[in-house]
Amino acid sequence: MTHPAVPLLADLIRRPSITPIEDGVLDVLEAFLSPLGFACTRLKFEGDGSYPVDNLYATRKGKEPGPHLLFAGHTDVVPPGDAAAWTHDPFSGAIVDDVMWGRGATDMKSGVAAFCGALAQLAQTGGWEKGAVSLAITNDEEADAVNGTKKLMEWAEAQGEKYDFAIVGEPSSFEIFGDSIKIGRRGSASGKITVIGKQGHAAYPQRANNPMPVIAEIVRALYVPLDNGTEHFQPTNLEVTSIDTGNPASNVIPERTTLRFNVRFNDTWTGETLLAEIHRRLAEVDTRGCAIAFEQIGPISRCFISQPEGHVARLCDVMEAFNGVRPQLSTIGGTSDARFISLYCPVVECGLIGATMHQVDERVPVADVERLAEFYALYVEKFLSGEPA
C-alpha cells in the first residue's frame, strides 16, 4: 500500500513554486492538513527590501497537555534550468522504476510530504493525543529568506506559541538515510572592500597610484587563519570570491579595485567580533596612499548549535532503534532556516540524502520517502508520549 506521503509529494512537485511564486503549493498542504484537525493560518509577509512571501502555519493540540514539537520546511525550489536537459519534466512528479523525479524531490518537498504523511499515519493510529504538533512552512528559503521563516517565527511567538524541540526536514543524510543529522550551522558574512588609488598610464607609474598592490596585501591579510575549529565546528573559512577593476585596457593603471569575500564562521565568533577582526586586519595593511572602504553585503547569518544532550540525544536514540545506525552529529554545509528557529528552541535538520538537490534530474527513491515518513511518525509518537526509544 502506498504511503500517503508519496502522492502528496507528487502533488507538491507539480506546483512549480520557484521562489517566491507559491503557485498553489500551500493550498495543497492546507487541503491535506485541515482534515487531520490542524488549524491552518496563511500569512503573507513583505517589505524589508524583499519580495512578498506566502507562508503557512498549521497547529494541532492534543487532548492532553504535553510537549510541543515544531516541524519546519520550505516549499519553494530553485529554477530547473534547461527543462530539455531533464530526463523527465522537472514539474511532473513522475514515478519511473520506483523513483520520483522533479524539482524539489530532494530539497525539500520530500521532507514536507514525509512529515505530513507521518501525521496522516498518526491520525489513523491515534498516537498523538498528548501535546501539540505545529508546522511552519515558507516559500522563501532558497533566495532572500527575509519574509519567510524569520517573520513566521516572530509571528508565532507573538501568538504565545512556545516549542520544546524542532525538526527541519532538509536533506541531512550522506550515504544512507539516517547516517547524519545536523545540529548546527556555521554563520555566514559577506563583504566588499574597495581600494581607491589614481588612474594613470602604465608607462608613467609615478603619475598614478595603483591600488592592485594594496589589494594583494589585503588578500594576504584576510587569508591568515582565523581559528583552528571548535568541538563541533570546522575552522572558520574565508574565501575571496572576486577581484575586479572594471579595467579592459592592459596599459592603464586602474583607479580602483573591488574585492568581495564570504566567511563561514564557527562559534568562536559572533558576526560583530568577526567584522571587528576584519577591520583590524585592514587597518594594519600599508595603504600606499590609497583609500580603503569596507561594505557589508547583506545580513549576517548567525552561527548556532543545539547541544547533543536532551532532545537531540533522544532523536538519535529513536533513529538508531529504527535504522540500526546511530546518526553522526554534523554542522557542515551552508545556512538554513534552522538558524531562525534556534532562537526559540533546540533544532536539528533531519531528512533524506541530498545527492541530487539543485541538479538537473533531481529525484528521490519512493522507498526513501516512505521510510522517512515512517521514521517521523515513530519519532512524533515517542516525543509526545515521552516513551523511550
The set of catalytic residues is 76, 141
Please confirm whether the linkage preceding 16 is cis (ω < 30° from 0).
no
Query: Residue 337, annotated ligand binder?
Result: no
For residue 175, say whether it is annotated as part of any ligand binding site.
no
Task: Supply 96's cell numbers.
Answer: 519511473
Q: Report which of 235, 287, 55, 71 is spatially closest to residue 165, judged by C-alpha positions.
A: 71
Q: Please name the residues in contact with 257: beta carbons below 8 A apart, sequence gap of 6 or more.
A: 194, 195, 211, 212, 215, 243, 244, 245
Q: Is 358 annotated as a binding residue?
A: yes
Q: Which residue has the cell 512549480?
A: 16
Cα–Cα dist 179/159, whole Å: 36
Q: Do the bridges between strand 328-330 and strand 180-182 make them parallel or antiparallel, or are there none, so unpaired? A: parallel
3-class SS string, 9-58: HHHHHCCCCECCCCCCHHHHHHHHHHHHCCEEEEEEEEECCEEEEEEEEE
Read off the DSSP letter of residue 173: B
Alpha-carbon span 108 to 89, nearest angstrom: 18
DSSP state of 205: G
Give the angle 63-67-73 at the CA atoms, nearest 5°.
Answer: 105
Phi and psi based region of residue 268 (left: phi greater than 0; alpha: psi -120 to 50; beta: remaining): alpha
User: By the 8 A CB rule, do 280 and 271 touch?
Assistant: no
Greatest alpha-carbon span in the chain: 83
Closest of 323, 349, 377 to residue 5, by C-alpha: 377
Give binding residues for Zn(2+) as ranges: 74, 107, 142, 170, 358
Give binding residues as ranges: 74, 107, 142, 170, 358
